[in-house]
Structure 1
Amino acid sequence: MESNTEEALRAKAFAEKQFMAKDFVGAKNYALKAQMLCPELEGMSQMVATFGVYIASEAKINGELDFYSILGLDPSVDKSKLKKQYKKMAVLLHPDKNRTVGADGAFRLVSEAWMLLSDSMKRRSYDQRRNLFAGYSAGGYDNCSKFSASHSRLDTFWTVCTSCHVQYEYLRKYVNKRLSCKNCRGVFIAVETGLAPMTGSFPYSTYSHVPENGVTRL
């Protein structure tokens, strides 16, 4: 039993070393090894949870943190389960109780996830950005149209440049066409998003011609 405890302590020390080197996967693996060797070793479940949050924080979606992964939840989760999971993780990660290296950072990430996802409007906007990116990267542009909202004019629609995120309003004949962004000049697919106009939008934009390469430009 003593040998197991000593080996577990060595594994814990290696876990902390890997974390400081920003090898979060390696850190969690060593922490799991220490926990398996000596389940009664103090603070191991907290260490595993802490390093797991850092692993999740490295998975970005369109440059944004994946807050669902940080909380260990599916995007379809309802608010009651979201709250329950947040409370559980907050207890595990709070720096007053968790002495693991990096616990304060993990707690901040979980708190940030809760603050965004517990706000219905912020969560809706975040989910729209997630799903828009998922549809764009998978090539499933038509699926994104389910996020359409009613517009003031039925002959126009709102879309967004996937590079600089500036919004545009176009005639409906441009839906799913390859367009050139006025702001960054990047090419994007005019997927109908249904997003409400925000700062940095171009209402009712039009184009003058379509060149041979099929990209509509100003």
Structure 2
Amino acid sequence: MASYTEAVDTLQSLRQDIASINPDLQFSFRDSIEPVYRQFVALLLQPLPNVTVELNEIQATLPSEILLDQDFSTTTLQERLASADFPIIHLATHGQFSSKAENTFILAWDRAINVIELDEILQSRTTTTQTGIDLFVLSACQTATGDNRATLGLAGVAVKAGASSTLATLWSVSDRATASFMSQFYRELTQTNLTRSEALRHTQRTFLEKTEFQHPFFWAPYTLVGNWL
């Protein structure tokens, strides 16, 4: 994530330099740079090699349709969410929280989908399908991070848009640990008579007691928003 941080710092410094030269240019510059900013940051995010492992292990536990790489485009995601009655939707990708809604996003193959667009996509599903989203999993960094403008960030938006529950993260997470965590979570959820909150707690306990990812950094960021049952 170092290159991402450097990119943000560079853009912020550039804004400050321009503002110090001519404060009148600050607002117009910000308006023009925000879309470029999102795509620039998205391009610098590192690949997630364990996403394929994560999705394949989930599919082995729960019958699933996988949209990977080029198939995970903004258009395809919109179309599948609007036309298919999936009770569980699992997105494994990059995520970012910002105090600006337009810079809070998840990353599809072709571009970033900001929180406003995600809300519109999920809202449109509620009008076109019979089955609601029972569980919406945002397997990405900072997807439950929020502030006084956006409580619980992307996860909060998903619940407001109609998802019964959202499993999301409070900070940046490890790609490899996340793949293992999600695989264990779905095993707990489908093979035992547990509620979602109990499945999450059992998974966290397993990580604490029996895996190489015992440090809370690896298992503590996952939180359930909405219906815990």
Q: TM-score range by the shorter chain?
A: under 0.3
**With CA pairs under 8 Å and 6+ residues apart, which has the higher RCO, 1 or 2?**
2
Q: Which has the higher helix share?
A: 2
Instruction: Report the TM-score when normalising by structure 1.
Output: 0.24
TM-score under structure 2 normalisation? 0.23
